[in-house]
């Protein structure tokens, strides 16, 4: 047991820093700084991901045989830490870290050949068709149906909270292929081309009020959509198993590197925010106690993550412990956002609809304050999405504690 | 970077586990703490035979030459068994000072600790100083090439069993100066040392100690006169590392016991573990435990880092351990209902030990402030 980094690791850290310096341009930084919900233009995301792809670093968690970066756990930690420290965009997860592991584990050879290289190169943008208006926490009650029509399925229904569906070329969908007593037993996993006739994407405006096309989520409607049979992953009616497998990847992320960045930002806000009497917020003991309590909890999560991920090799999933990461990661993210709103005081109030427009105009109040309140509002989603944190506690209770 | 235990470390853990299985079930422990001595000399000798009293000492001093990770393993297992014998006090804290003492002092004292012949206690706290390690009134003045020790040390853990004490005393400076503090080895049987021994709420023992014109020779001094404060901070941080490990041991027993109880206890026609409100409480207990384990590893892996980084690690870990100890201890009693209130069940005993761990070497508020000042 030790925390030592080898010389190779130290060299790797410089390599990552150099990469960020050349690839994460000041234009990208300026754009991302204006985001109320963490995402930027489609162009920015593609440009960033292509540069990671060319470097061979686009998929740190893929097995090397499929084009994964082949990082050791120490390198992965360094990579994540440096990326978060620089505030670099996160890779869009729907292709790379959600559908890809499912295709690798359950897809046919043809599907692997057809989809994985384009995911790796960000030639194809994916989105996730899980939730429905009537199927949220009770995901297995989903109703979007796919009827067997011989050489194709006919899909009818709707999916909701579909993140960045407005950019997507493909959607992976949970559909009902059979009505059974046990709802889980009639679900299948389909890959659908978003350009197919009968698909309609409508934006849903969330609390951060990001303007189109920067909206985060959408509702997707399917009306008599024909999907070729070869787009079924694995077996018909076995989709629930694949869906759960995917969810462990969705939840089993590292959260601490970006949480540390949030803490750093709060510290710098503390230095720049006057509180009267010639003092700054960073001099206020009550604020410092909250901030430091938060930092200690982030460190506790960091070491939970290190323990879990150092025991895994690339391509392995975390298992039900991923629910711990999801709960603590999202709860701490919200805590930091909450503290950030408190920190900027009155400057949380001014509302700017299109933060990306007039990028060179002076902001109302401090520059960094512009997106803090919208990000706080937007951040309430984190304990709701990917299975609400109450659902995560049900999972831990059942799968870890055996209750 | 590596978070796995070596084969040797696993062997060490197994050794302790089987020792505890054979000698330290709940009833044996009860008999020990109710005995006149309040600890078992027999167990202490066995710990010596197993080599455990020599864990952190160098081979040339007769020890096993292990590091903080091995101490962590011992302390964690002792936490699971609620061991009252003063291992941390003698081996980790006093041993921590003696490891850095002069060649002569090491030769004179370490073999007696390793063989189990002597138990040691660290007398540092004073009534007016609370958790402040530099607020010291106990005074050592120069006298005939030696020192004269006077003053009062409070709640000295393990002192009733000890033959020797290590005492922090002021040799110069004002009451809470960090400069001017010295450490002395004091034989408990010296003239002028008087103790009021008592039991503690968590089944251990402690003493109020007064020193009245206790004559010390110059070789009682550890290190340089007046310069002991950084060493005290270092050894206290190492002790915190071990206490955190003891705490996670106790937490793991409470969590397992609580889950088990909720699976069997029936109300409203079903096991109470089927109720979601209780399930979520147990999940939160489990998550607090996992985070505490992580912070315990963290601090014990960072004890060798530079001073500031080490202090931050110790205070951060102690904050987590204090908060989790409170939450898990209280929740375990709550979920056991009336049974959790009884002395006959082990749950309350773990709860009480964890409650005392919260205070030892500073509570959550104290360490959050220390963390802030190290940031």
Predicted local confidence at residue A75, as pLDDT: 92
Q: What is the DSSP letter of A13?
A: H
Note whether A396 contacts B286, CB cutoff 8 Å: yes
Predicted local confidence at residue B311, as pLDDT: 97
Note whether B259 contacts A327, CB cutoff 8 Å: no
Predicted local confidence at residue A357, as pLDDT: 85
Which long-range contacts does B177-181 make (Cβ < 8 Å, 24+ apart)? Answer: B177/B134, B178/B134, B178/B229, B179/B226, B179/B227, B179/B229, B180/B226, B181/B134, B181/B136, B181/B226, B181/B227, B181/B228, B181/B229, B181/B232
- Picking from B282, B283, B372, the nearest residue to A288 by CB comes out as B372
Name the phi and psi angles at B196, rounded to 5.
Answer: -110, 105
> Does A358 touch chain B if contact means CB atoms closer than 8 Å?
no
- Picking from A304, A310, A401, the nearest residue to B283 by CB comes out as A401
> Does A143 touch chain B if contact means CB atoms closer than 8 Å?
no
Residues of A in contact with B273 (CB under 8 A): 403
Omega before A213 within 30 of 0, i.e. cis: yes
Note whether B2 contacts A301, CB cutoff 8 Å: no
Measured in angstroms, the CA of A277 and the nearest CA of chain B are apart by 22
Which two tokens mark B10? 């696993």
Nearest CA-CA partner of B6 in B70, B80, B50: B70
Note whether A5 contacts B274, CB cutoff 8 Å: no
Note whether A296 contacts B302, CB cutoff 8 Å: no
Query: Region B174-196: what's the mean pLDDT?
Result: 98
Which are the contacts of B117, defined by CB distance < 8 A and separation ≥ 6? none
Banded model confidence at residue A180, pLDDT cuts 50, 70, 90: confident
Substitution target from B286, B290, B312, B365 for chain A, most A beta carbons within 10 A: B290
Other Cβ atoms within 10 Å of B268 Cβ, number? 8
Predicted local confidence at residue A159, as pLDDT: 98
Query: Region A240-264: what's the mean pLDDT?
Result: 91
Distance CA B324, CA B182 (A): 35
Per residue in A195-211, pLDDT tens?
999 999 999 999 999 99
Note whether B274 contacts A393, CB cutoff 8 Å: no
Taking the domain A252-400, which CATH number applies? Answer: 1.20.140.10
**Enclosing H/E stretch for B230:** helix B229-264
Q: Report how many Cβ contacts below 8 Å link chain A to chain B.
A: 112
Is the pLDDT score of A314 beyond 70?
no
Measured in angstroms, the CA of B91 and the nearest CA of chain A are apart by 22
Question: pTM for the whole thing?
Answer: 0.93
Note whether B368 contacts A289, CB cutoff 8 Å: yes
Predicted local confidence at residue A381, as pLDDT: 95
By CB atoms closer than 10 A (0-12, 13-18, 19+), residue B267 is exposed
> Does A297 touch chain B if contact means CB atoms closer than 8 Å?
yes
Distance CA B340, CA B333 (A): 4
Q: What is the DSSP letter of A2?
A: B
Distance CA A88, CA A269 (A): 20
Per residue in B69-88, pLDDT tens?
999 999 999 999 999 999 99
Specify which residues B139 forms β-bridges with. B150, B170
- Picking from A293, A303, A327, the nearest residue to B298 by CB comes out as A303
> Does A296 touch chain B if contact means CB atoms closer than 8 Å?
yes
Please report, rounded to a whole number, the percentage of residues in chain B having pLDDT higher than 90. Answer: 98
Note whether B280 contacts A393, CB cutoff 8 Å: yes
Which are the contacts of A150, defined by CB distance < 8 A and separation ≥ 6? none
Distance CA A62, CA A312 (A): 12
- A 3-32 residues with CB < 8 A to B: 3-5, 9
Mean pLDDT (chain A) is: 94
Name the phi and psi angles at B110, rounded to 5.
Answer: -65, -40
Per residue in A257-296, pLDDT tens?
999 999 999 999 999 999 999 999 999 999 999 999 999 9
Substitution target from B245, B287, B288 for chain A, most A beta carbons within 10 A: B287
> Does B291 touch chain A if contact means CB atoms closer than 8 Å?
yes
Nearest CA-CA partner of B322 in B282, B368, B281: B368
Query: Region B354-368: what's the mean pLDDT?
Result: 97
Distance CA A175, CA A163 (A): 18
Mean pLDDT (chain B) is: 97
What's the distance, Cα to Cα, between the start and end of chain A in Å?
Answer: 32
List, as one string, the DSSP characters of A66-81.
Answer: GT-----HHHHHHHHH
| Domains present along chain B, CATH in parentheses | 7-118 (1.10.540.10), 121-227 (2.40.110.10), 230-374 (1.20.140.10)
Banded model confidence at residue A218, pLDDT cuts 50, 70, 90: very high
Is the pLDDT score of B183 beyond 90?
yes
Residues of B in contact with A5 (CB under 8 A): 1
| Residue whose structure tokens are 């202090």 | B311
> Does B292 touch chain A if contact means CB atoms closer than 8 Å?
yes
Question: Are the C-beta atoms of residues B68 and B303 closer than 8 Å to each other?
Answer: yes
Classify domain A125-237 at the CATH topology level. Butyryl-CoA Dehydrogenase, subunit A; domain 2 (2.40.110)
Is the pLDDT score of B363 beyond 70?
yes
> Does A137 touch chain B if contact means CB atoms closer than 8 Å?
no
Distance CA A342, CA A291 (A): 11
Residues of A in contact with B293 (CB under 8 A): 307
Q: For chain A, what are the domain ranges?
A: 7-91, 125-237, 252-400
Is the pLDDT score of A107 beyond 80?
yes
Measured in angstroms, the CA of A172 and the nearest CA of chain B are apart by 32
Distance CA A237, CA A220 (A): 22
Per residue in A335-383, pLDDT tens?
999 999 999 999 999 998 898 887 777 889 998 999 999 999 999 999 9
Q: Where are the beta strands (DSSP E) in chain B?
A: 120-123, 139-143, 146-157, 164-170, 181-187, 193-199, 205-216, 221-222, 266-267, 270-271
Note whether A300 contacts B375, CB cutoff 8 Å: no
Predicted local confidence at residue B252, as pLDDT: 98
- What is the 3-class SS of B104-159, one letter each residue? HHHHHHHHHHHCCCCCEEEECCCCCCCCCCCCCCCEEEEECCEEEEEEEEEEEECH
Name the phi and psi angles at B186, rounded to 5.
Answer: -125, 125
Measured in angstroms, the CA of A318 and the nearest CA of chain B are apart by 15
Note whether B290 contacts A324, CB cutoff 8 Å: yes
Per residue in B259-284, pLDDT tens?
999 999 999 999 999 999 999 999 99
Distance CA B74, CA B9 (A): 10
Chain-centroid distance, C-alpha A149: 35
Distance CA A202, CA A161 (A): 10
Is the pLDDT score of A311 beyond 90?
no
Substitution target from B1, B2, B264, B328 for chain A, most A beta carbons within 10 A: B1
Predicted local confidence at residue B242, as pLDDT: 98
Measured in angstroms, the CA of A90 and the nearest CA of chain B are apart by 24
Q: Which CATH number fits domain A7-91: 3.10.105.10, 3.30.1390.20, 3.30.160.100, 1.10.540.10?
A: 1.10.540.10
Question: Are the C-beta atoms of residues B65 and B59 closer than 8 Å to each other?
Answer: yes
Is the pLDDT score of A250 beyond 90?
no
Predicted local confidence at residue B243, as pLDDT: 98
Question: Are the C-beta atoms of residues B175 and B166 closer than 8 Å to each other?
Answer: no
Residues of A in contact with B297 (CB under 8 A): 1, 303, 307
| Residue whose structure tokens are 């002792």 | B78
Is the pLDDT score of A315 beyond 90?
no
Is the pLDDT score of A81 beyond 70?
yes
Is the pLDDT score of A54 beyond 90?
yes
Per residue in A117-161, pLDDT tens?
999 999 999 999 999 999 999 999 999 999 999 999 999 999 999
CA dihedral (B80, B82, B83, B86) in degrees, to 10, reads 110
Predicted local confidence at residue A312, as pLDDT: 81
Predicted local confidence at residue A97, as pLDDT: 93
């Amino acid at each position: 047991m030790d925390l030592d980094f080898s010389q190779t690791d130290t060299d790797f850290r410089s390599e990552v820093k150099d990469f960020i310096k050349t690839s994460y341009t000041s234009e990208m930084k300026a754009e991302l700084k204006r985001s109320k919900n963490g995402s930027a233009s489609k162009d920015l995301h593609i440009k960033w991901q292509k540069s990671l792809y060319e470097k061979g670093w686009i998929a740190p968690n893929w097995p090397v045989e499929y084009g994964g970066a082949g990082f050791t756990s120490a390198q992965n930690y360094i990579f994540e830490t440096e990326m978060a420290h620089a505030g670099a965009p996160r890779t869009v997860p729907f292709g790379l870290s959600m559908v890809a592991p499912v295709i690798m584990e359950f897809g046919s050879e043809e599907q692997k050949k057809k989809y994985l290289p384009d995911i790796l190169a960000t030639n194809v943008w994916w989105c996730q068709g899980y939730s429905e208006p009537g199927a949220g926490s009770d995901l297995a009650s989903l109703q979007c149906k796919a009827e067997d029509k011989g050489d194709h399925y006919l899909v009818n229904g709707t999916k909701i909270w579909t993140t960045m569906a407005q950019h997507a070329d493909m959607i992976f969908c949970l559909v009902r292929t059979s009505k059974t007593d046990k709802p889980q037993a009639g679900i299948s996993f389909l890959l659908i081309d978003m350009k197919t006739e009968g698909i309609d994407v409508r934006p849903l405006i969330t609390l951060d009020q990001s303007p189109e096309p920067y909206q985060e989520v959408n509702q997707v409607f399917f009306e008599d959509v024909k999907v070729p049979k070869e787009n079924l992953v694995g077996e018909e009616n076995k989709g629930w198993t694949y869906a759960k497998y995917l969810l462990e990847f969705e939840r089993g992320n590292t959260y601490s590197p970006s949480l540390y960045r949030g803490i750093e930002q709060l510290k710098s806000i503390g230095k720049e925010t006057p509180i009267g009497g010639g003092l700054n917020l960073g001099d206020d003991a009550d604020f410092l106690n909250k901030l430091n309590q938060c930092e200690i909890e982030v460190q506790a999560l960091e070491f939970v993550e290190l323990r879990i991920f150092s025991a895994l090799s690339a391509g392995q999933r975390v298992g039900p412990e991923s629910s711990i990461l999801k709960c603590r990661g999202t709860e701490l993210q919200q805590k930091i956002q909450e503290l950030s709103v408190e920190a900027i005081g009155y400057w949380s109030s001014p509302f700017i609809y299109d933060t990306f427009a007039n990028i060179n105009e002076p902001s109302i109040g401090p520059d960094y304050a512009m997106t803090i309140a919208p990000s706080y509002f937007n951040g309430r989603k984190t304990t709701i999405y990917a299975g609400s944190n109450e659902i995560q506690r049900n999972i831990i209770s059942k799968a870890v504690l055996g209750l | 970077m590596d978070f796995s235990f070596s084969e040797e470390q696993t062997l060490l853990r197994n050794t302790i586990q089987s020792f505890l299985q054979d000698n330290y079930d709940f009833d044996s422990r009860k008999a020990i703490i109710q005995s006149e001595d309040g600890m078992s000399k027999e167990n202490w000798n066995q710990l010596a035979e197993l080599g455990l009293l020599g864990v952190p000492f160098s081979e040339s001093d007769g020890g096993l030459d292990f590091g903080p990770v091995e101490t962590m393993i011992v302390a964690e297992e002792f936490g699971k068994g609620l061991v009252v014998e003063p291992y941390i006090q003698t081996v980790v804290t006093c041993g921590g000072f003696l490891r850095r003492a002069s060649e002569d002092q090491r030769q004179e004292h370490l073999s007696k600790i390793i063989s189990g012949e002597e138990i040691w206690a660290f007398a540092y706290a004073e009534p007016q100083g609370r958790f402040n390690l530099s607020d010291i009134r106990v005074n050592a003045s120069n006298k005939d090439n030696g020192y004269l020790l006077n003053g009062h040390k409070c709640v000295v853990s393990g002192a009733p069993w000890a033959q020797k004490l290590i005492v922090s005393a002021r040799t110069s400076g004002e009451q809470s100066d960090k400069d001017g503090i010295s450490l002395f080895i004091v034989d408990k049987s010296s003239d002028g040392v008087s103790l009021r021994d008592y039991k503690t709420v968590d089944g251990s023992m402690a003493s109020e100690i007064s020193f009245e014109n206790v004559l010390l020779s110059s070789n009682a001094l550890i290190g340089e006169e007046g310069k002991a404060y950084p060493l005290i901070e270092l050894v206290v941080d190492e002790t915190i590392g071990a206490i955190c490990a003891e705490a996670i041991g106790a937490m793991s027993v409470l969590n397992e016991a609580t889950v088990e109880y909720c699976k069997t206890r029936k109300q409203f026609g079903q096991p109470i573990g089927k109720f979601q409100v209780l399930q979520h409480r147990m999940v939160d207990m489990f998550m607090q435990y996992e985070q505490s384990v992580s912070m315990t590893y963290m601090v014990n892996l960072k004890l060798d880092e530079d001073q500031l980084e080490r202090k931050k690690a110790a205070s951060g870990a102690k904050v987590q351990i204090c908060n989790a100890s409170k939450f898990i201890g209280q929740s375990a009693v709550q979920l056991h209902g009336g049974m959790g209130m009884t002395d006959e069940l082990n749950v309350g005993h773990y709860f009480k030990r964890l409650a005392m761990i919260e205070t030892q070497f500073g509570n959550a508020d104290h360490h959050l402030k220390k963390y802030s000042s190290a940031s």
